[in-house]
Homo-oligomer: A and B are copies of this chain.
Amino acid sequence: MVANKSSLSVVVLAGGVGAARFLRGLALVNEPRSTTVIVNTGDDTVLHGLNISPDIDTVIYTLGEAIDAQRGWGLTNESWRAMESLKRYAKVRPTNSDAASDWFNLGDQDLATHFYRTARRKEGADASQITGEIAQAWAVEQQIVPMTNQDVATVVELAEDCIAGRAGEKISFQEYFVKYKHGVAVRSIQFVGIENAKPNALPQLKSADAVVIAPSNPIVSVGPIRALGGFDATLAKIKNRVVAISPIVGGRAIKGPADRMLSELGHESSALGIARMYSSIASTLIIDDVDTNLKPAIEELGMRCVVTNTIMSSPQIAGKLARIALGSVLGENQ
């Protein structure tokens, strides 16, 4: 595939693991330096005083060939001595304290990334700059861009009676995702701070040869990016060059809570449900072979529908998927 690698300006809208896998494939078929990745930062959190950007780190660690393949997050050859040592403090913290919380695992090597991000933020550097520096440290050639330099917090409102006495409680995305292992029904999602957040990389988006919406959670990964002022309108204008890859295969999410979340929030947990969410901003949807039967219904929405293997079990399969994705919207412009 390297022989005829293209040098198209490609923008990818990205969450974490699914997007990272797609990007590794894309790098095999399109010059990494020509790719801009706009990454969700609604999942960002602060733990132990440290600024943590899980999606950005997953993308960078994956492209830096340092991700732990089994876990799908964090670094290879990781150790957990700092976390282990926190247990001593969990025993003495007051009952109303969240200090020494251990539900979000931070590996010893991984900590360096959060130290750097936190220190640079305290020095006044903005998220774009810091992300660029971290990407450079891992020799990542793609432009990795946080969706905004302002703080946006994805907040999950728990559905009634899912945790005793906590109906309607609002918790951070990471609490929902990691602490409660996304096993809690959701009533609504909010992106706190979104109205004051300015989107990054809009110019790259406007002039891109192709825009790919990675197979990420449409609500909590792609959702925050789309909710940024002007973002969805821009996508709608360049819709012909926008292709999405369904994160739902056979009605189920490959990873994470997208399927349940879709159902809980009134969407259909299927590639057709995804098509309905994206038909205003993408001309093309790529769905998995197992969902072939949904093709006619998706086309009825006015979208092109490409059917292929979307299970990225190897970089090569991801590369093939990336080539198909680019081809599907480039054809339109030729």
Contact = CB atoms under 8 A, between A and B. Distances in A.
Interface of A: 47-51, 79, 81-86, 88-89, 91-94, 97-101, 108-116, 118-123, 125, 133-134, 136-138
B100 A85 contact: no
> What 10 pairs across the A-B complex have the smallest Cβ distances?
A85-B112, A49-B118, A48-B115, A99-B119, A81-B108, A89-B116, A82-B111, A85-B109, A86-B112, A92-B137
A110 B122 CA distance: 22
6 contacts: A49-B121, A81-B81, A84-B112, A94-B125, A97-B119, A100-B112
Query: What copy number does this chain have within its complex?
Result: 2
Given A100-B115, A100-B116, A109 B89 contact: no
Contacts of A81: 79, 81, 108-109
A123 B95 CA distance: 12
Contacts of A125: 94, 97
A137 B89 CA distance: 6
A116 to B, nearest CB: 4
A119 B48 contact: yes
Contacts of A97: 119-120, 123, 125
Given A108-B85, A111-B111, A136 B100 contact: no
Main secondary structure of the interface of A (DSSP, over half): helix
Nearest to A122: B49
A104 B281 CA distance: 50
Contact of A115 (B49, B79, B116, B121): B49
Contacts of A122: 49
A119 B49 contact: yes
B99 A123 contact: yes
- Residue among A47, A82, A111 with max Cβ neighbours from chain B (10 Å): A82
Given A99-B123, A100-B116, A112-B88, A133 B82 contact: no
- Residue among A81, A91, A122, A125 with max Cβ neighbours from chain B (10 Å): A81
Contacts of A113: 85, 89
Contact of A116 (B99, B116, B121): B99
Contacts of A134: 89, 92
Contacts of A110: 85
Nearest to A130: B99
Given A109-B85, A137-B88, A98 B115 contact: no
B82 A98 contact: no
Contacts of A93: 116, 120, 133
A121 to B, nearest CB: 8
Nearest to A79: B81
A108 B82 contact: yes
Nearest to A86: B112
A75 to B, nearest CB: 8
Contacts of A98: 119, 123
Contacts of A91: 137
Contact of A50 (B49, B85, B101): B49
